[in-house]
């Protein structure tokens, strides 16, 4: 099928749980300090889902806001994709719960799993469906309840993560339209699957008491090794996006990187010779919200006026898998 269409962002939304957990709060239960966390990660506080909140409830709130912003009724949504690595249950998909919550019954709904890179992987799927004319309106949501899959006694991981959801409504337009998704590039390297993982195997071993006692159903991470690989992969894949679009960094209005660690982002910006004033940051408020980090960032940048009509934004992500990717959006 020839591509006669492309994808534009028609609406954005996000939802952050009300409860704030500060570094000072963590000092009370962990051998850590506000100074250590702030200096090593840039994180000051993160949001924590309340009882009764989950990836699907937060996703539905973010999705509803994106639909309202785009002026689209739930009846006109053709597809809902939820990017999550902290789904409500193993199955059915979180997206099916979201569909029910939004009462968007004329669509298909499914999840994808690419962890912190999930949203850019999702964007690459949406781009294909809209380009080839299969669908007209797609709701792409990233939603994570990381607070339920971190070990709150492990100071090297629990300080990093937070909960939240973000959503984009993407719409099919004619190929001639200068706006929209200009490119997506995605990669995986399964040889690095041990760097960040939840090792407890549901399908591999079945849930068992030993794995529960060994805390294998929580996030495990080799922080240092991940840090180095994250900087390199994110820099390289952003460079690839620039070359593909024949863009220079000067022509990029805003870089929206995955918010994993302030120092990873600083190192990427430095390698790209890109000023930090043009890098979107909200890690101090939310920590690493995995698959939700990019759409929360886009929504906040859009609503605060940091993204203006005519701007070009570049997204860069890296996550467990290992997975990594980039995307370019013209607004
Ligand atoms: N408070 C105080 N000390 C801590 C700590 C905390 N919360 N977490 C770890 N430490 C200690 C370690 O135990 C270690 O102590 P030791 O030297 O006595 O053994 C020391 O700090 C240094 O640990 P190290 O792991 O080398 O620190 P770091 O500078 O690499 O920072 C991370 C750790 C996790 C913040 C950092 O590696 C990181 O952010 N990595 C990337 C993680 C990431 O973003 N993953 C997701 C990608 S999508």
Please report which residue ranges of the chain form alpha helices under DSSP H: 23-27, 34-41, 55-70, 94-102, 118-131, 202-205, 209-213, 223-244, 262-271, 283-286, 293-303
Same domain, 190 and 126: no
Q: pLDDT of 126-152, one tens digit each?
A: 999 999 999 999 999 999 999 999 999
Q: How confident is the model at residue 66 (pLDDT cuts 50, 70, 90)?
A: very high
Ligand 1 pocket check: which of 35, 116, 156 to mutate, most ligand atoms within 8 Å of Cβ? 156
Point out the ligand 1 atom lying closest to the alpha carbon of residue 320: 48
155 lines ligand 1 (CB under 6 A): yes
249 and 150 part of one domain: no
- What residues contact residue 252 under an 8 Å CB cut-off, 6+ apart? 242, 274, 278, 312, 313, 314
d(CA 198, CA 217): 6
Ligand 1 contact, 40 CB (< 6 A): yes
Domain final position from 174, 193, 220: 174
| Whether residue 13 sits in one domain with residue 137 | yes
Residues 206 and 170 in one domain: no
Tens-digit pLDDT profile for residues 296-316 = 999 999 999 999 999 999 999
Domain hosting 212: range is 180-330
Given a contact cutoff of 8 angstroms between Cβ atoms, the answer to whether 119 and 294 are in contact is yes
Cβ of 227 less than 6 Å from ligand 1: yes
DSSP state of 31: S
pLDDT tens digits for range 183-223? 999 999 999 999 999 999 889 999 999 999 999 999 999 99
Domain boundary at 153, 174, 195, which? Answer: 174
**What's the rounded Cα separation, in Å, for the pair 99 and 80?**
7
C-alpha distances out from residue 57 to 52, 94, 113, 143, Å:
8, 9, 18, 9
Percentage of the residues of the chain whose pLDDT score is greater than 90: 98
- Give the CATH number for residue 163: 3.40.47.10
Residue nearest (by alpha carbon) to ligand 1 atom 41? 227
Using the predicted structure, report yes or no on whether residue 1 has a pLDDT greater than 70: no
In contact, 292 and 166? CB cutoff 8 Å? yes
Q: Are residues 199 and 242 in the same domain?
A: yes
Sign of CA dihedral 89, 221, 159, 200: positive
Q: What's the 156 CA to ligand 1 centre distance in angstroms?
A: 5
**C-alpha 227 to ligand 1 mean position (Å):** 10
Pairing mode, if any, of strands 79-83 and 137-145?
A: parallel
Active centre residues (catalytic): 116, 258, 288
The per-residue pLDDT for 202 is 87
Task: Tell me: do 254 and 317 sit in the same domain.
Answer: yes
Tell me which long-range contacts 210-216 makes (C-beta under 8 A, separation of at least 24): 215/151, 215/154
Same domain, 91 and 148: yes
What is the pLDDT, as a whole number, of residue 2?
Answer: 63
Tokens of 125: 């799927």
Same domain, 20 and 136: yes
Rounded to 5°, angle at Cα 293 from 290 and 295: 130
**Alpha carbon of 221 to ligand 1 centroid (Å):** 10
Last residue of a domain, one of 174, 204, 232: 174
Q: Kindly report the protein residue whose alpha carbon is nearest to atom 24 of ligand 1.
A: 224
Same domain, 204 and 274: yes
Q: Same structural domain for residues 280 and 204?
A: yes
Average pLDDT over residues 77-82: 98
Beta bridge partners of 7: 172
Say yes or no: 155 and 44 in one domain.
Answer: yes
Predicted confidence at residue 331, as pLDDT, reads 98
In total, how many domains does the chain have? 2
């Amino acid at each position: 099928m020839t591509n006669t269409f492309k994808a534009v962002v028609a609406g954005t939304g996000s939802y952050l749980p009300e409860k704030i957990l500060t570094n000072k709060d963590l000092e009370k239960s962990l051998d850590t300090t506000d100074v250590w966390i702030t200096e090593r990660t840039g994180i000051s506080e993160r949001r924590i889902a309340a009882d009764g909140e989950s990836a699907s409830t937060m996703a539905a709130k973010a999705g509803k806001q994106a639909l309202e912003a785009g002026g689209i009724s739930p009846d006109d949504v053709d597809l809902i994709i939820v990017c999550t690595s902290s789904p409500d249950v193993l199955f059915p998909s979180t997206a099916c719960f979201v569909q029910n919550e939004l009462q968007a019954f004329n669509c298909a709904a499914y999840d994808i799993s690419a962890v912190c890179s999930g949203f850019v992987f999702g964007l690459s799927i949406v781009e294909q469906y809209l380009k080839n004319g299969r669908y007209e309106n797609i709701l792409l949501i990233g939603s994570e309840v990381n607070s339920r899959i971190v070990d709150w006694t492990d100071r090297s991981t629990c300080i990093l993560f937070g909960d939240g959801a973000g959503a984009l409504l993407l719409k099919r337009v004619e190929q001639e339209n200068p706006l929209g998704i200009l490119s997506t590039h995605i990669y995986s390297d399964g040889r690095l699957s041990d760097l960040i993982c939840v090792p407890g195997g549901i399908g591999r071993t079945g849930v068992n008491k030993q794995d529960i006692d060994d805390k294998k159903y929580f996030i495990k991470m080799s922080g240092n090794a991940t840090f180095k690989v994250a900087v390199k992969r994110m820099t390289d894949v952003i460079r690839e996006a620039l070359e593909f679009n024949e863009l220079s960094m000067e022509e990029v209005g805003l870089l929206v990187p995955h918010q994993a660690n302030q120092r990873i982002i600083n190192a990427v910006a430095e390698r790209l010779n890109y000023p930090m004033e043009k890098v979107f940051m909200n890690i101090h408020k939310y920590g690493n919200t995995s698959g939700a980090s990019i759409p929360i960032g886009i929504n906040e940048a859009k609503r605060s006026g940091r993204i203006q009509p005519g701007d070009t934004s570049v997204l860069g992500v890296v996550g467990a898998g290992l997975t990594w990717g980039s995307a370019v959006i013209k607004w």
